[in-house]
Structure 1
């Protein structure tokens, strides 16, 4: 089937045909579509450099989009380069918000806000700010920013928690509401927002920055319209979207027709550990079209680990962009040839009031893993291995010695970790998850904003999935909290490691988290780090993970320690949380990896000497800790070892 009623490929249109279809020449359409992306990049830089909130300033937890007017069905021709989980749902977010508010009720200088996850996707802290762009009395576009607000009320400061049971515990919900009119703040809306936020003093200047950035985006759009004309501008919107749709269709066409299945897993919700949640996918591919059926997926969770239907749709296309269409710009056209069958009330299509949504990525990351798994065989060399899956976000709240409240959000857990390997090479070991493009907050910034000390951030030896290209290594992070505090933790993919290997590669190991009370850690007294050898774990309190019940050391055949046994962790000063992320999967047969690359891994402590021989069949001689440059490969022993392993496998 063709991607649209226009069956001729864009590159095959002659100049006259192109002009008739898009009301402009090819060069103009290309210039305008690139300019739209430039506008959003420029707009996003203004937010990034002027934000007060660490979640925007350090995490890049926002995104920006341009959408067409109602007469173009709100097509989205350009997105920003920041948080990818946002822009997949923002085309629908703009359409739903504006249609509910009423486009006839808009006028120049307006900003409409909405944050309801069931309307606009993601979670309540992510407020969508939408500004209509008028040329005269005609709406010609919308420029939008979805940006995480540091706190939006609810029972948990900052919101990051899997313990909330319904939308009423989650925080303030904004149906489409007028935030600015005639470029002036609407006082009642601001009162509503700040009466429900713990950190209004930080949020207020951020909203002002967003307002000015949207006005800046509007000016640049109007400059484009004035220079090239409305017809050419509209044509460029349609061209950018059609081009994206055509690219995805061509990529789908290269996959063999057939039916493919995959499953993603979530360990448990925060009620009890009796329910494990599964995301079931059946992908049916015919020609250049794909149907993604979620039938059989677990019902919505009893706490706020669910995702909305818009998030599921976004994650499906995000996975496909990684796998088959990674080089073309993202637009709403990427969805055009993909049909989604999604029953209501599942863990990735939750409904209110009991299907609470906050930790939505904990459901959509397993969804992406399921897509990767389903298409592993079909893609062969082009398959992508799984990443660390659950971010294990850690949220803490307390009072300083002077009684000043503080809140630490998404900096003390397993928020950054490894990706999976591809045909292009080894995976990086320290990134945000696949749906993000976040900047890692600097240690100095974290410690300046909060009474915490980041004691350790290092890679874990022998954790990465083996392969011709190695997966990313697990990240071990120790964070000490200097005051008494309350903590919420959500590491939700430790039972079944999400870092699947592809094309013959091995899987990465599962992760875990532990608490070392001050009487065990004694960091301030000893002026030294907590050890990493097995003996220290017996004195820890497991937070979550599959471990030996006595030694508390990671053990795939051990006992699952359930994070929900302590919905709120209460700690005394100088207590330390240790997070170890899951590791990324490998790509290709590890026995094909060049011995010299394995030697480098041993030298750099990604792989131990024993692991090199066990997983790669490479015999390394020497001491990597005390004489890394003196390491050598025993060529004869390696040849014999690899021959034995090939025969066994």
Structure 2
């Protein structure tokens, strides 16, 4: 019989000192100090970046990794992009060991982006700065940031049509970008000879170098003040604290075998095949095995993920559901194992298993976890979100001959989340697996030839519940110049906003083009279901005649036209999926339902149908005069 685990808080002062080479107060101070240090680093990047996707969207993360003798463990990470959390430590380990730790000197900056080595996609370039103390490596400052372009067949890269690694973009194996503080000319030439937008990426690279140098200085200041042993002990302590938090959460989960699955709509070849992620979770005591066996083969185009991306989604999803209060470190992953067959949608192999839309597989994994654990968690369950990024890629040439492209900022990237025991779902956020900012309308309109005509909640799209999900968002983007477009909506066949604890699923959305061949500028398109009949339906499960969303309708395949060309004045509409509800809708406070009717989230008819609440009055002409018919509501709910 194994002895019970001694919790960190139960260690004596002598035991703590022996384990971490510092007292518990110092370990806590240093853990927080290092988290502050990396956050300080990325704050500088946010305010000095040139590329819009960094400066406006927060598409980056930074971390401190331990030295090789601690297996490069990620001990502190920023409140940045969650899709990077499970790849950073492995990226540092793989890049450093392939290049050679013994070849590194102070002032070096390694760079790498190969998805099969370090995860994510080629645009997510990883920059790694060794931190030396008394001639030895004491750790690493790592920063991963999405770059505007990395070459390949599509400006900006966001497309589901790329078939292999050669179409995907430039592969950068681990190499020096800076050596002893000086730029390595051949590395800069290799990269900027193969990418678009180098005039923005070059200053960003220099800024990132400065940010990593700042991170190194902050780490060295910590070592100089507290000593190397205390610093190294705090790295171990941070990971152990996260591992303990997850271990205790797993112990509360009933032992058993859990099964779940979900699918992406199609790849970029045709719509004949849905791509399924199959999860089998075997939980015993404080250990968990996550098995992806049975998942679909790798897709024929770049909607695949790599194994580190799948690992990330499992870690983020489990922590969000089971242990949300602790810090995220490499220790978060310590007590579960991941089994992923190679050559699958979650573990694609080169050259034909192209990886770009890895984040869509990650979001799907989180949806599966939400549905799988909903019955087990009971009132602690969390409703599903809008489930995808609905990324849009547009490019063209301006009147003066200057090319432009706008990637992953003017589509359906933000939408609703699900309800929980704490309340209704958020209305406008990124999906759970992300942590991106929504770029301001003014910034987008200043940088690109487009106008954001609408960003509006849509009635009767939120999943009903005691606490309803967030309502779907309709976002209309009018392009003031002719352009070519790629769109990647992969979650319109089945609801992603899963209802939990008695709540119901959110509605399905879609994508359309109004005035595809050109339209009057400043044309505002209505929201009623009748407007879609004359539009070009791009994606969604829609009524084949009206082309309005219909869960019993026909699936419209986004890739039937790989590149959508539009004239001046064309408007793209992205309607996200709705968030899932939490709890029995008939238990929702009737006054809350009345407020939802007043605020346009729910119609009078849906209040009666979905919530059993009879609302009297006219929400359009007299919203403050609405009343609840208590007697009729009681009869209906009974």
For this structure pair, what is the TM-score category when the shorter chain's length is used for normalisation? over 0.9
1:587 aligns with 2:585: no
Residue 467 of structure 1: aligned partner? 465
Shift of 1:9: 1.1
Supply the distance in 2 between the matched residues of 1:232 and 1:193 (Cα, whole angstroms).
40
Deviation at 1:556, TM superposition (A): 1.1
Query: What secondary structure is seen at the aligned counterpart in 2 of 1:88?
Result: coil
Structure 1 position 440 matched with structure 2 position 438: yes
**CA deviation string 1:72-123 (max 9, x = no partner):** 1111111001111112210111111111111011110000000011111110
1:429 correspondence with 2:427: yes
Q: Give the counterpart of 1:632 among 627, 630, 634.
A: 627
Cα deviations across residues 446-486 of structure 1 (Å, max 9, x unaligned)? Answer: 00000001111001100010111110111101111111111
Match of 1:100 in 2: 98
Q: Map Cα deviations across residues 176-214 of structure 1 (whole Å, 9 max, x no partner).
A: 011000111100000011011110000011111111111
Q: Which residue of 2 aligns with 1:417?
A: 415
Aligned: 1:549 with 2:544: yes
> Runs in 1 of length 4+ with deviation above 6 angstroms?
none
Q: In the alignment, which residue of structure 1 is the partner of 2:569?
A: 574
**SS state at 2:608 partner:** helix
CA distance in 1: counterparts of 2:450 and 2:369, whole angstroms: 38
**Contact 1:263–1:373 at 8 Å: present in 2 too?**
no
SS in 1 for 2:110: strand
Q: What is the aligned partner in structure 2 of residue 537 from structure 1?
A: 532
Partner of 2:515: 517
Q: Quick one: structure 1 residues 324 and 25, their matched pair in 2 at CA, closer, same or farther if it must change by over 3 Å?
A: same
Correspondence for 2:10: 12
Q: CA deviation digits over 1:228-278, x for unaligned, max 9?
A: 111111100000000100000000000111111111210000101111011
Give the equivalent residue in structure 1 for 2:370.
Answer: 372
State how far apart, in whole Å, the 1-side matches of 2:439 and 2:597 are. Answer: 29
1:45 paired with 2:43, answer yes
SS at match of 1:119: helix
Matches of 1:67 and 1:634 in 2, distance apart? 61
**Does the Cα contact within 8 Å between 1:283 and 1:374 map onto a contact in 2?**
no
- Provide TM-score, normalisation by structure 1: 0.97
Deviations 1:112-153 (A, max 9, x none): 000011111110000000000001211001000000000010
TM-superposed CA distance for 1:535, in Å, is 2.0
Alignment partner, residue 556 of structure 2: 561
Q: Report deviation, 1:534.
A: 2.1
CA contact (8 A) 1:64 1:87 kept: no
User: How many correspondences in the alignment?
Assistant: 638
CA distance in 1, matches of 2:266, 2:228: 52
**Residue of structure 2 in register with 1:330 after alignment:** 328
Q: Which runs of 5+ in 2 are unaligned?
A: none
Give how far 1:523 is off. 4.3
Distance of 2:293 and 2:404 partners within structure 1 = 43
Structure 2 distance, partners of 1:583, 1:177, is 44
**Aligned runs of 1:34-433 on 2, under 5 Å?**
34-433=32-431
Shift of 1:411: 2.0
Equivalent-residue separation in structure 2 for 1:403 and 1:634 (angstroms) = 63
Q: Are 1:611 and 2:606 an aligned pair?
A: yes
* CA distance in 1: counterparts of 2:449 and 2:342, whole angstroms: 43
Mapped partners of 2:265, 2:391: distance in 1: 15
Q: What secondary structure is seen at the aligned counterpart in 2 of 1:466?
A: coil
- Partner of residue 647, structure 1: none
**Structure 1 CA distance, aligned partners of 2:580 and 2:312?**
23
Q: How far 1:6 moved relative to its partner?
A: 9.6
| C-alpha RMSD of matched pairs (Å) | 1.2
How far apart are residue 378 of structure 1 and its match? 1.2
| Distance (whole Å) between structure 1 residues aligned to residue 618 and residue 114 of structure 2 | 57
Please say if residues 280 and 290 of structure 2, whose CA atoms lie closer than 8 Å, have aligned partners that are also in contact. Answer: yes
Q: Report if the CA contact (8 A) 1:261-1:282 is conserved.
A: yes
Residue 528 of structure 1: how far off its partner (Å):
4.3
Q: Secondary structure at the match of 2:138?
A: strand
2:366–2:433 contact (8 Å) kept in structure 1: no
Counterpart Cα distance in 1 of 2:363 and 2:485? 23
Q: Give the conservation status (yes or no) of the 8 Å contact 2:261–2:276.
A: yes
Determine the C-alpha separation between the residues in 2 that align with 1:276 and 1:482.
35
In structure 2, the residue corresponding to 1:538 is in which secondary structure?
helix
Is the Cα contact below 8 Å between 2:395 and 2:403 reproduced in 1? yes
Cα distance, 1:518 vs structure 2: 5.2
Question: 1:622 and 2:622 equivalent?
Answer: no
